[in-house]
Structure 1
Amino acid sequence: MKFKLLTAALLLACSALHAQTVEVKGAWVRATVPGQKGTGAFMRITAKDGAKLVGVLSPVAGVAEVHEMKMEGDIMRMRAVPVLDLPAGQTVPLQPGGYHVMLMELKQPLPKGSTVPLTLRLQDAKGVESRLELTLPVSAVAPSAAANDAGPGDEKSGHHGEHKH
């Protein structure tokens, strides 16, 4: 029993250590209307030491995936991306029209002003997986760049959406 508790504590410590190297800013989820079954979540992710985004979870959606939208000839295509590289020190934007999180099979409407719990599954260069728990504000439009830089979501200001670990 003691061995299991020690192992669990070590795994949690490793997970927390890795999550400290990832910063999320400007995170938000697009509001939905009743009956809408999918929406997007957007943010900017910076991994100090490099990492991979290997999954996304949210209790509000039956399916949560990282997707990519890109032009192929004259057609805009969207596809699931099983792994998204987060190069060391580079900010990777998850934004409309590019990489983003798709929340599908929504279990409830997501009205403007509410929040959505979202978990990022990360993996470091050694393959160690960690989770970063976020609470994202729901908005009809992207928060302005000035507002993002001023601190909405900054844990110190008590808002949601930005997390530095």
Structure 2
Amino acid sequence: MAVLLQPIKRGLAALALLGMALPALAETTVSDAWVRATVPHQQSTGAFMVLTATSDSKLVGVASPVAKTVQVHEMTMNGDVMGMREVKAVELPAGKAVSLDPNGLHVMLMGLHEQVKEGQQVPLTLTIEDAKGAKQTLQVQAPVRALTAEAGAGHEHAHQH
């Protein structure tokens, strides 16, 4: 009987080793996602969110069916002139919340196909790449907030100081 169990034990040991060799898939969570509403004929708007990855990763792409072009931009200051420039990737250090907000890094939805109105949901597809180069996509439904909305508006969390 022991002779028959030997190959089974060896097989189970090999499976256990294989399980340890498989990389744990890096997970990225998205919270507080929202898109700023637009006025009629406005061509672009911003999308904002907080990204937290379980391992060192980066946001390498964003797409949405509501816009022709979607890019990640960062605000720049050149003297007293504020500008924006495209960023090819956003580093997501392990365990650190990275905020995409109106005052810093943010997603620009450009060439909008129609007006984005408060109360709608805007679908976003985020492409995240981990340190090993493995890519995953995240589907996000971002609610549209009023034109006057600021980062953190509609935040349900109580902040204690």
Q: CA deviation at 1:144?
A: 4.1
For 1:86, the equivalent position in structure 2 comes to 92
Contact 1:29 1:40 in 2 (8 A): yes
- Label 1:67 to 1:107 Cα distance change in 2 as closer, same or farther (>3 A): same
Contact 2:53 2:95 in 1 (8 A): yes
Counting aligned pairs with the same residue, the percent is: 51
Tell me the C-alpha RMSD between the 2 structures. 1.9
For 1:23, the equivalent position in structure 2 comes to 29
Q: Does 1:147 align with 2:155?
A: yes
CA distance in 2, matches of 1:67, 1:127: 22
Structure 1 length as normaliser, TM-score? 0.76
- Label 1:146 to 1:105 Cα distance change in 2 as closer, same or farther (>3 A): closer
CA distance in 1, matches of 2:156, 2:85: 28
Aligned residue-pair number: 134
Structure 2 length as normaliser, TM-score? 0.78
- Label 1:72 to 1:54 Cα distance change in 2 as closer, same or farther (>3 A): same
CA distance in 1, matches of 2:103, 2:139: 24
Q: Secondary structure at the match of 2:31?
A: strand
CA offset digits 1:75-121 (Å, max 9, x no partner): 11200001110111111110002000000000011100011000101
Give the unaligned 5+ runs of structure 2. 1-21
Contact 1:25 1:43 in 2 (8 A): yes
CA distance in 1, matches of 2:96, 2:152: 21
Tell which structure's C-alpha radius of gyration is larger: 2
Contact 1:26 1:148 in 2 (8 A): no
Contact 1:25 1:148 in 2 (8 A): no
CA distance in 1, matches of 2:29, 2:67: 24
For 1:5, the equivalent position in structure 2 comes to none
Give the unaligned 5+ runs of structure 1. 1-13, 151-165
Contact 1:56 1:118 in 2 (8 A): yes
Q: CA deviation at 1:147?
A: 2.5
